[in-house]
Amino acid sequence: MKILIVGASKGLGRALAEGLGQDAEMIIGVSRKTPTDLTVAPSCALRWIEADLSDPEAAAARIAEQAPAELDAILYNVGVWEDKAFTDDYDFLADSPQQIARLLDINITGTILLLQRLIPRLLGRAKPQLVLTGSTSGLPRSGRPEVAFGASKAALSGIADALRESFRARRLAVTCLQLGYLNTEDGLAVARDEASRRGEGTLAPVHDVVAMVRALLSLSDASFVRELVLPAILDERF
């Protein structure tokens, strides 16, 4: 299986690359910089594409030029948010228009333009799959005040719905992975049980997300998961 992961250099994207790289034929990571310490199984080829999605058209062209002609799965990890997001100091009125525009370019315009180029490489495969996620705190209606990131989360669901119906006849499985707060401090090198203790039940370890994505990719071609909601057990918002 050839899997392309957008946003694969750190956090959730890195965990997905390392975890799925234990059984995939090839992992293609996309990020602004290539990490030097990310490892996969010896049987898995690891390729890297450096691109900055704040210039969506140029990034989409660069990634399309370097990505394989055929892909089995794309995992699109939208994880760019405001500088002071998730803190008490966040203030929408203080955000610069430039920062807001850049965030929306990366999370929405960049996503649409890149998928327009890459989806044809999925079609025709035995089980083409696309997984979209808003990364940590990617759940809609989560009560968070971040305006631009909140708009990105809503747009992600809309993109998933539209692509699912556009390519249903071509058997493209499109899953929207809605995640609550994640423990991205502890990567897969940390034991899952130890990682699950961080946050005392308010943070889901990335290990669980990797396990769920591995399950999604292992389904038969007769079914798919439309939406998967995965919050932490003590997240009372959900």
Interval 16-51: pLDDT, tens: 999 999 989 999 999 988 888 899 999 999 999 999
Q: Which of 77-86, 101-110, 229-238 tops mean pLDDT?
A: 101-110
Q: Which string of b and e fits 72-98 if b means at least 16 CB within 10 Å?
A: bbbbbbbbbbbeebeeeebeeeebeee
Does the structure show a pLDDT above 80 at 143?
A: no
Look at residue 238 in the predicted model and tell me its pLDDT. Answer: 75
What percent of the chain stands above pLDDT 90?
71
Does the structure show a pLDDT above 80 at 15?
A: yes
Superfamily of structural domain 2-230: NAD(P)-binding Rossmann-like Domain (3.40.50.720)
Rounded to the nearest integer, the mean pLDDT of the chain is 91
CA 134, CA 120: separation in Å to the nearest integer? 23
Look at residue 12 in the predicted model and tell me its pLDDT. Answer: 92
Look at residue 90 in the predicted model and tell me its pLDDT. Answer: 86
When pLDDT is cut at 50, 70 and 90, the band that residue 134 belongs to is confident
Look at residue 74 in the predicted model and tell me its pLDDT. Answer: 98
Pick from 134-143, 192-201, 219-228: least confident: 134-143
HSE (CB half, 13 Å, CA atoms) of 211? 8
Q: Token match 């990682």: residue?
A: 195
Q: Which residue has the higher pLDDT, 143 or 83?
A: 83
What would the mean pLDDT of 189-217 be, rounded to a whole number?
Answer: 95
Does the structure show a pLDDT above 80 at 157?
A: yes
